[in-house]
Amino acid sequence: MSLKSINPYNGKTIKSYKEYSTKKINLKIEQTHNAWILWKETSFKERGVLMKKLARVLRSKKEDLAKLMTLEMGKPYKARISEVEKCAWVCEYYAENAKGFLKDQEIKTDAAKSFVAFQPIGVVLAIMPWNFPFWQVFRFLAPGLMAGNCGLLKHASNVSGCALAIEKMVIAAGFPKHVFQTLLVSGKKVNPIIGNPLIKAVTITGSTAAGKAVAEKAGSVLKKCVLELGGSDPYVILADADLETAVEACVNSRMINNGQSCIAAKRFIVIKSIQKDFIKLFKEKMSAKVMGNPMDEKTELGPQARIDLRNELHEQVKNSIKKGAKCILGGAIPKCKGAFYPATILTNVKKGMPAYDDELFGPVASIILAKNEEEAIKIANDSVFGLGSAIFTKDIKKGEKIAKEQLQAGSAFVNEFVKSDPRLPFGGINQSGFGRELGTFGIYEFVNIKTVYVK
């Protein structure tokens, strides 16, 4: 079987990759395990030097990496350059902070000495998606290697070129051979890999369905997993919100990465008293987004990553309209080559519609009206997901209280769109998964948190 990388802009095959055999997969796993036996004994200083060099390699290759991303999944120019820069940032962040995060923590007990130590656990399997083909990997790779673990990457098949590029950069930075390797495999071969006794844990970013399947297999063999899954992030716009600020943030969030982000704003819950002004400004800014060739620096909306994903999105839009939603912008597949879908706005969105209940993974905004603040928060929490959320209001204290105490999600932002940051933990609740990436909490996920007690 071959894994195909297809340009979503023109539908042409970029390259086909031969899938690894079971024998080759097991060899790669064994190689990475053997590399870990030596790697775990290295100092934080040694690891940090290499991680900072990896950041430099990323920056030196950012134009080539950016082009590769665009070819394989359609990311527009500005987004792809910033993604590479963010990968370099996370490398530097953990290079500078991992030692402090993982230093022994003394706890006073009746022992002569008692403390908590943090130790690497071994080879971690990462199952990563296509939408942020470098960032998703590096937010696992940087803390993982700095903690003394080794990594194996099973990337989405359509970004196999990006997957191999990451492995080459790790080698170019001077990391020991086999510390990090890519596995060119389809999803059908994932379960045996998770079951291999040399794999100690697994992390996945992907759909809720994929996360459930991975968690089921990991649970059957008692292996730790972190699941960063889908989301239908609610953005609550209160009556006193600064509409310019709110709309700018809402549109930027909904359109980032061609609308293909788990933490993109998807449900916009607006107080009825400001609905006309909000919708007018929102429509103006959404319709101004330039759709076209993602290689063109002026393009703000490129194609969806695959034709089948675009078609699935369109079905969700059509089904929502059949159930009573009103389309006031977009909503039709353009008559051109490529997996394009236009900036789309649905109003009169109600419970029971895909636009209300499901994750719409593309540039489609669902506007839901609420009578008041109480109802708006209730609607925001009326979801099986729980990844990100945001609240817009001029009353900062009230906004902070709502964000902290009332919005049910892994992240809650006030007057800003949700974004990941190496310094802050990232993850969700409910059907959006469990566990955390990034920050101190992210590096703790895949270490043995060991109690040491000395009488």
Instruction: For residues 77-102, give the mean pLDDT.
Output: 95
pLDDT in tens, 406-431: 999 999 999 999 999 999 999 999 99
Kindly provide the residue ranges of all beta strands, DSSP E only, lying in 112-242, ordered along the sequence: 113-120, 123-127, 150-154, 180-182, 199-205, 224-228, 233-237
Instruction: For residues 272-285, give the mean pLDDT.
Output: 98
27-31: long-range pairs with CB below 8 Å, 24+: 28/152, 28/178, 28/181, 28/183, 29/123, 29/152, 29/193, 29/196, 29/198, 29/199, 30/198, 31/177, 31/178, 31/181
Please state, in angstroms and rounded to a whole number, the distance separating the CA atoms of residues 345 and 326: 8
Please state, in angstroms and rounded to a whole number, the distance separating the CA atoms of residues 13 and 181: 24
Please state, in angstroms and rounded to a whole number, the distance separating the CA atoms of residues 260 and 258: 5
pLDDT in tens, 174-201: 999 999 999 999 999 999 999 999 999 9
Angle between helices 160-172 and 135-146 in degrees, nearest 10: 30
Least Cα distance to 213 among 194, 199, 231 occurs for 194
Q: Is the pLDDT of residue 401 over 80?
A: yes
Pairing of strands 390-392, 413-414: parallel
* Average pLDDT of every residue of the chain: 97
Please state, in angstroms and rounded to a whole number, the distance separating the CA atoms of residues 131 and 206: 9
Burial of 49 (0-12, 13-18, 19+ CB in 10 A): middle
- Report residue 365's pLDDT band, with 50, 70 and 90 as the boundaries: very high
**Residue 346 backbone class (left: φ over 0; alpha: ψ -120 to 50; beta: rest):** beta
- Report residue 77's pLDDT band, with 50, 70 and 90 as the boundaries: confident
Half-sphere exposure (Cβ direction) of 207: Cα atoms closer than 13 Å: 10
Per-residue confidence (pLDDT) for residue 1, from 0 to 100: 74
- Report residue 373's pLDDT band, with 50, 70 and 90 as the boundaries: very high
**Residues acting as catalytic residues:** 228, 262
For the beta carbon of residue 454, count every other beta carbon within 10 angstroms.
Answer: 8
Q: Any idea which residue has 């839901």 for tokens? A: 368
- Report residue 229's pLDDT band, with 50, 70 and 90 as the boundaries: very high
pLDDT in tens, 208-224: 999 999 999 999 999 99
Q: Please tell me the pTM assigned to this model.
A: 0.96
Please state, in angstroms and rounded to a whole number, the distance separating the CA atoms of residues 104 and 113: 12
Please state, in angstroms and rounded to a whole number, the distance separating the CA atoms of residues 403 and 422: 20
DSSP state of 197: T
Q: What percent of the chain clears pLDDT 70, i.e. is strictly above it?
A: 100
Cβ–Cβ < 8 Å for 380, 407: yes
Instruction: For residues 314-319, give the mean pLDDT.
Output: 98
Q: Is the pLDDT of residue 446 over 90?
A: yes
Instruction: For residues 65-80, give the mean pLDDT.
Output: 92
Per-residue confidence (pLDDT) for residue 389, from 0 to 100: 98
- Report residue 80's pLDDT band, with 50, 70 and 90 as the boundaries: confident
Instruction: For residues 301-310, give the mean pLDDT.
Output: 97
Tokens of 420: 């990941």
Per-residue confidence (pLDDT) for residue 435, from 0 to 100: 98
pLDDT in tens, 109-138: 999 999 999 999 999 999 999 999 999 999
For the beta carbon of residue 201, count every other beta carbon within 10 angstroms.
Answer: 21
* Structural domains of the chain, with CATH: 2-229+429-454 (3.40.605.10), 233-414 (3.40.309.10)
Per-residue confidence (pLDDT) for residue 78, from 0 to 100: 78
Please state, in angstroms and rounded to a whole number, the distance separating the CA atoms of residues 253 and 276: 21
